[in-house]
Amino acid sequence: MSLKRTTPLASALLLAAALLSPPVVTAAPAGTLAVPDISLANVQAHLNSFQTIANSNGGNRAHGRPGYRASIDYVKAKLDAVGYTTSVQQFTHSGATGYNLIADWPGGDVNNTLMFGGHLDSVAAGPGINDNGTGSAGILEVALTVARENLKPQKHLRFGWWGAEELGLIGSNYYVAQLPAAEKSRIKGYLNFDMIGSPNPGYFVYSASGQPTGSAQLQQTLQAAFSGVVATELTSVGGRSDHAAFARAGIPVGGLFTGAETIKTSAQASKWGGSAGVAFDRCYHRSCDTTANLETTSLDRMSDAIAYSLWTLAGVGTPPASKFENTDDLALPDQATVESPITVSGVAGNAPSALVLGVDITHTYRGDLVIDLVAPDGTAFRVKNSSSDSADNLVTTYTVDASGEAANGVWKLRVRDAGPQDVGTLNSWYLQF
């Protein structure tokens, strides 16, 4: 976490003020693929590599130092090898070149991008294994698991490792500032993971309070990742980490945190174990932040929670709805029957049990209308009978159980005017599978 932070006393007050209500649990959507277990051994292997890099480069992985560039190269090589599209973004701070690493998983809707990130740099005083080798390694292993699973999510997945966070969130601020407005609008959520293996850990979820609209879904998803495993607390991390630039840009944000210099309370020790009256991380920003400065149960749970949030939020296993529409105007003569066709193709198997039919009809007495949806084999599904409803026009949707019908073929909307005097126009209609 960044050096630009509150004092320990202020941090303690922030945590004391955090919302302590029971978590709001949001279950993964029905049909979502099972979330894989993230290998703790693999996460630890990445951390061992970060430690080795620091040992070989003056004991740290700080901005402008060779250990940071070596860390970028390590992560990039892992991602390149499994098919990510990676780019290294350069910036300058305090007379030294800094680097962000961005990795995109091919596929998904780029107009609906979900982003995961954390900072990769350490302070100059030490190797920064908990802060923030842990977040960086957890994100990396989740990204590699995406590749192993050959994941094909609905949303586009992007990962970021930020430079010079410890000097004031420099890398992430630069990344967001360089994005054109259209590119910012494509990012529908950013999740930040900064310190997820503290030796005296807490289980903190970033609070959505005061954050951009849409952040509540991220908060609730991260809370749900721990449901039945361990209790969580909401915490307001303010501008202490790399989510801040995204939040200022109006992008929904969320994240996880196991605690830094703030002291664990007796109540928290009773809930989570560990030592009351001791900092969550006594080696925070010190030379002793090494691979010996970790608690592996929290590291394992937090890494799994990153995967849970990705698999849940990315729309995995539920293909996007296919919509077919006919927008040709069709006159509805008085006391006559007309049909309008739609050709459906490329939809596997049968139609769903909740096929959505949308209609837009201009008419001077909608009670006259009788409407059937006709399947490709001629089966008719009555969706509306005539009635005494004297209101004008009909713009609505219906749900049809068409699960016994093949999806592909020519579907028809049959509209009959069953009463005298009034006429209208079928403006458009659609089917959504």
DSSP string, 293-325: S--HHHHHHHHHHHHHHHHHHTTTTSPPPPEEE
Percent of the chain's residues with pLDDT above 70: 91
User: Could you please report the per-residue DSSP string of 332-362?
Assistant: E-TT-EEEEEEEE-S--SBPPTTEEEEEEEE
Given a cut of 80, is residue 227 above it in pLDDT? yes
32 vs 225, more confident = 225
SS (H, E, C) 373-414: EECCCCCEEEEECCCCCCCCCEEEEEEECCCCCECCEEEEEE
Question: How high is the pLDDT of residue 321?
Answer: 60
What is the per-residue pLDDT for 171?
Answer: 98
Same domain, 293 and 399: no
Contact of 149 with 36, CB cutoff 8 Å: yes
Mean pLDDT of the chain: 91
Q: Indicate the range of 60-64, 130-134, 343-347, 382-386 predicted with least confidence.
A: 343-347
Range of the domain at 391: 323-432
> What is residue 397's predicted lDDT score, i.e. its pLDDT?
85
pLDDT at 102: 98
Report d(CA 157, CA 169) in Å as an integer: 22
Quote the pLDDT of residue 352.
87
Q: Sheet holding 85-93: strands in order across? A: 85-93, 96-105, 155-162, 109-119, 187-193, 253-257, 204-206, 233-235
d(CA 360, CA 371): 12
Q: What is the mean pLDDT of residues 85-103?
A: 98
Examine residue 301 and state whether it is found in any structural domain, yes or no.
yes
| Cβ count within 10 A of residue 404 | 11
pLDDT of residue 48: 98
Give yes or no: residues 293 and 343 share one domain: no
Residues 409 and 261 in one domain: no
| Cα dihedral: 34, 40, 43, 44 (round 10) | 180
pLDDT 10s digits, 287-322: 999 999 999 999 999 999 999 999 999 986 545 567
**Statement to judge: residues 386 and 421 lie in one domain:** yes
Please say which residue of 280, 295, 314 terminates a domain.
314
Q: What is the CATH number of the domain that holds 372?
A: 2.60.120.260
The span from the CA of 297 to the CA of 323, in Å, is: 45
The pLDDT value recorded for residue 97 is 98
Task: Answer for the pair 118, 46: CB distance below 8 angstroms, yes or no.
Answer: no
User: Residues 6 or more apart from 115 whose CB is under 8 A from it?
Assistant: 157, 158, 159, 160, 187, 189, 190, 191, 246
Q: Of 292, 314, 336, which residue sits at a domain end?
A: 314
Per the residue annotation, which of 141, 149, 165, 295 is the catalytic one? 165
CA distance 10 to 200: 20
Residue 48 dihedral angles phi and psi, to the nearest 5°:
-60, -40
3-17, 110-124, 152-166, 239-253: least confident range: 3-17
Q: From 269, 297, 314, give the residue that closes a domain.
A: 314
Residues 261, 374, single domain; the answer is: no
Predicted confidence (pLDDT) per residue in 2-47, tens digit: 643 433 333 333 333 333 333 333 334 444 568 999 999 999 999 9
Active site residue 261: no
- Please tell me the predicted confidence (pLDDT) of residue 7: 36
Query: Residues 284, 373: one domain?
Result: no
Under DSSP, the state recorded for 121 is -
**Interval 328-337 mean pLDDT:** 95
Distances in Å between the alpha carbon of 263 and those of 166, 203, 229, 260?
Answer: 21, 14, 23, 8
Q: What are phi and psi of 419, to 5 degrees?
A: -125, 165
Domains in the chain, number? 2
Assign residue 271 a region (left: φ > 0; alpha: ψ between -120 and 50; beta: otherwise).
alpha
Region 265-294: what's the mean pLDDT? Answer: 98
pTM above 0.85, yes or no: no
Compute the distance between CA of residue 205 and CA of residue 49 in angstroms, rounded to an integer: 28
Is 149 inside a domain boundary? yes
pLDDT, residue 2, reads 67
Domain shared by 113 and 183, yes or no: yes
**Pair 382, 255 in one domain:** no
Task: Please tell me whether residue 229 adopts helix, strand or coil conformation.
Answer: coil
> Do 336 and 426 have their domain in common?
yes
